[in-house]
Amino acid sequence: MEEKEIANGEKGNSRGWISGFIGMLMFSGSLPATRIAVLGLPPLFVTGARAVIAGLLAIGALLLLKEKWPAKSHIFPLMLVALGVVVGFPLLSALALQYITSAHSLVFVGLLPLATAIFGVMLGHERPKPAFWLFSFTGSLLVVGFAIFQGIQVSAIGDILMMGAIILCGLGYALGAKLTKTMGGWQVISWALTLSFPLMFPFIFLYPPSSITTVPTGAWIGLAYISLFSMFIGFIFWYQGLAQGGIASVGQLQLLQPFFGLGLAAFFLHEKVSPAMLLISLGVMLCVAGSRRFS
Rounded to whole angstroms, the Cα distance separating 244 from 246 reads 6
Rounded to whole angstroms, the Cα distance separating 188 from 3 reads 32
| Torsion angles phi and psi, residue 125, rounded to 5 | 60, 35
The answer to whether 123 touches 174, Cβ cutoff 8 Å, is: yes
Rounded to whole angstroms, the Cα distance separating 106 from 144 reads 7
Alpha-carbon Rg for the chain, nearest whole angstrom, is 19
Angle among Cα 251, 191, 58 to the nearest 5 degrees reads 95
HSE of 214, CA atoms in CB hemisphere, 13 A: 8
List pLDDT tens digits, range 128-151.
Answer: 777 777 877 777 777 777 666 666
| Torsion angles phi and psi, residue 215, rounded to 5 | -75, 125
Rounded to whole angstroms, the Cα distance separating 49 from 18 reads 30
Q: What's the average model confidence in pLDDT over 5-14?
A: 54
Q: Report the percent of the chain where pLDDT is more than 70.
A: 79
Contacts of 197 (CB under 8 A, 6+ apart): 51, 52, 55, 59
| Torsion angles phi and psi, residue 281, rounded to 5 | -60, -40
Q: What's the average model confidence in pLDDT over 118-132?
A: 75
User: Which of 266, 8, 255, 20 is CA-nearest to residue 142?
Assistant: 255
Rounded to whole angstroms, the Cα distance separating 188 from 193 reads 9
List pLDDT tens digits, range 40-99.
Answer: 999 889 989 999 999 999 999 999 999 989 999 999 999 999 999 999 988 898 888 778
Question: Is it the case that residue 179 has pLDDT exceeding 80?
Answer: yes
- How many helices (H) and strands (E) the chain has is answered by 16, 0
| 293: confidence class by pLDDT, cuts 50, 70, 90 | low
The reported pTM is 0.80
User: Which of 189, 171, 157 is CA-nearest to residue 93?
Assistant: 157
The SS3 assignment for 246 reads coil
Cβ atoms < 10 Å from Cβ of 274 = 13
What is the predicted pLDDT for the residue at 106?
Answer: 65
Rounded to whole angstroms, the Cα distance separating 217 from 213 reads 10
Rounded to whole angstroms, the Cα distance separating 31 from 169 reads 13
Question: Is it the case that residue 5 has pLDDT exceeding 50?
Answer: no
The SS3 assignment for 41 reads coil
Rounded to whole angstroms, the Cα distance separating 56 from 208 reads 19
- E-strand ranges in the chain read none
List pLDDT tens digits, range 270-280.
Answer: 656 567 666 76
The answer to whether 120 touches 177, Cβ cutoff 8 Å, is: yes
